[in-house]
Homo-oligomer: A and B are copies of this chain.
């Protein structure tokens, strides 16, 4: 009798292996065989479950974004004030399991990947929209009409820190990253127009 319910297990193993492998290679030049091997199965099985390599990548990207989204939701729930809301979003960006060398590397790769693949682009844009809207909700009470600009700026800053973390050989420093964004937030709030 066949093992039942293997599908979700296999799929998850593959997704995890994909992120790890991309993190290791620091590039999307990763073969299905490598991913499958790390996931403990044959590449034929990987295709059986996902169809194409593209779909494996898609699922992996979805996973990275989902981890982040979940962290944000959790933190937002505890936020008591507008400012705490904004800080929650910032905190989630760098405290998440995603702010870890391999995941950051994978993140950057997916960013690039989104340039080429429409489905990946959609995913990434959804993330950007959500990030922006999460920031906006908190920022409006704080800076009013300047909230749009503030959200844009904070979002870009977060992405910039990510990209730099990806390049650096040092272990990513989430606290420092968070401090930098919070500083920018403070200055923005303090600044008059």
Q: How far is the CB of A104 from chain B (nearest CB, A)?
A: 10
List A residues 163-193 near B (Cβ within 8 Å): 163-164, 166-167, 180, 183-184, 186-188, 190-192
**Measured between alpha carbons, how far is A169 from B18 in the docked complex, in Å?**
28
Q: Is the CB of A156 within 8 A of B153?
A: no
A91 part of interface (Cβ distance < 8 Å): no
Nearest chain B residue, comparing its CB with the CB of A109: B112
Interface, chain A (partner B; CB < 8 A): 25-27, 105, 108-109, 111-112, 114-116, 121, 124-125, 128, 149, 152-153, 155-164, 166-167, 180, 183-184, 186-188, 190-192
Q: Is the interface of A mostly helix, strand, loop or mixed?
A: helix
Beyond A187-B187, A190-B190, whether A112 also contacts B27 by CB under 8 A is yes
Q: Is the CB of B191 within 8 A of A149?
A: no
Please name all residues of chain B whose beta carbon is closer than 8 Å to the beta carbon of A25 when the two chains form the complex. 116
Beyond A163-B159, A167-B121, whether A183 also contacts B111 by CB under 8 A is no
Please name all residues of chain B whose beta carbon is closer than 8 Å to the beta carbon of A128 when the two chains form the complex. 164, 167
Q: Is the CB of B108 within 8 A of A115?
A: yes
Q: Is the CB of A159 within 8 A of B164?
A: yes
Interchain CB contact (< 8 A) of A111 among B108, B153, B192: B108
Q: How far is the CB of A154 from chain B (nearest CB, A)?
A: 9
**Measured between alpha carbons, how far is A124 from B166 in the docked complex, in Å?**
12
Q: Is the CB of B116 within 8 A of A112?
A: no
Q: How far is the CB of A3 from chain B (nearest CB, A)?
A: 13
Q: Is the CB of B187 within 8 A of A115?
A: no
Q: Is the CB of B108 within 8 A of A183?
A: no
* Shortest 8 CB-CB contacts between residues of A and residues of B: A160-B160, A187-B191, A156-B160, A26-B115, A187-B187, A159-B160, A156-B161, A190-B191
